Amino acid sequence: MSLTSTARRLRRDQTEEERELWRALRAGRFAGFKFRRQHPVGEFHLDFFCPAAKLSIELDGFHHGLPEQRQHDEKRARFLDAEGVEELRFWNHQWRDNREGVLLEIWNALHRRTGCVSVSRKVQNHRFVPPVTTELKKSSRKPAS
């Protein structure tokens, strides 16, 4: 089976968690960054890939905890590292229980890898707009005792 037909099959057979994350990332909705889903790189398919940041995002189900799958994931991580691609991995339950936390981790990685500090497309089209850094600093201050 070709890489393209495998990618199409994987897109068609997405998990519910992958569908929900794709809704947040697709069409530049995530802070203006373009993502691809089931993007082939070498012999691997990346769940979600941002070419501008060379960032891969993976949502993992229980089978990624099995020994043979863990070996496969480690091989893949070494390959991606050699290609200069950073990989973020989240368990499906992390997405279900803490979506904003997952999206904030993705934003932090995009910011770290690209240096982008502001939204580059129309804000009203975005499903996730990163917090303003001054707001983060204010909310992280401890109240005086």
Strands 55-60 and 86-91: parallel
Predicted local distance difference test score (pLDDT) of residue 61: 80
Helix, strand, coil share of the chain (percent; to 5)? 50, 20, 30
Is the pLDDT at 75 greater than 90? The verdict is yes
Predicted local distance difference test score (pLDDT) of residue 51: 94
Q: What is the pTM of this model?
A: 0.73
Domains of the chain: 3-140 (3.40.960.10)
